[in-house]
Amino acid sequence: MASELKIGERVLALVKGDITQIPADVIVNAANEGLTGGGGVDGAIHRAGGPAIMGDLQRRYGKRRQCPTGSAVVSEAGDLPAKWVIHAVGPRWRGGNFLEADLLWSAYRSAFHMADQLEARTVTFPAISTGIYGYPADKAAPVILSALKEGLEGAEFVERVTIVLFTGGPLAIFEEALEAGV
């Protein structure tokens, strides 16, 4: 199975692991609209990064912070092995007829664009919306891979994007989609 795709001199990679343990310039978080921390990847990032992440979000965006679905915001990374955390909000799966694919694509492209503006060379992404938000991995993978491939094709600074999948089942699904040439 394919675990990497070369896009010119740039690389789109897939790995199984814990996103909080993989060094990168930017770690992307699967955030909620209120940027309040939560479960899944979001909870893991906030636990591993410590209170500095939430403190920076409050300083930057206020106590009533909001990030609409399909958008992203940035914070410092606290104790994570990164310079920045980009908090991207993906859609909740509602059957596929409520612009979920467009919103998921937008969340990835917003986060990618922000990482490139930060002059990040390396970026790690989780499979946003495929956990607690219920987006089926087989439907999400082509959307996610195409958004990141397009981002890498036009990137100024980003050289390597790694999608970090916590378990093997989704990894195999993403590998199949990558091999299919998404």
DSSP string, 118-137: TT-SEEEE--TTSSTT---H
DSSP count for the chain of H helices, then E strands: 5, 7
Q: Active site residue: 18, 25, 42, 56, which one?
A: 42
Cα Rg of the chain (Å, integer) = 15
Residue 29 and residue 85 in contact, taking contact as beta carbons nearer than 8 Å: yes
Residue 107 and residue 82 in contact, taking contact as beta carbons nearer than 8 Å: no
42 annotated active-site: yes
Taking the C-alpha atoms of 177, 141, 136 and 17 in order, what is their torsion angle to the nearest 10 degrees?
Answer: 100
- 117 Cβ neighbours under 8 A, 6+ residues apart: none
* Residues carrying an active site annotation: 42
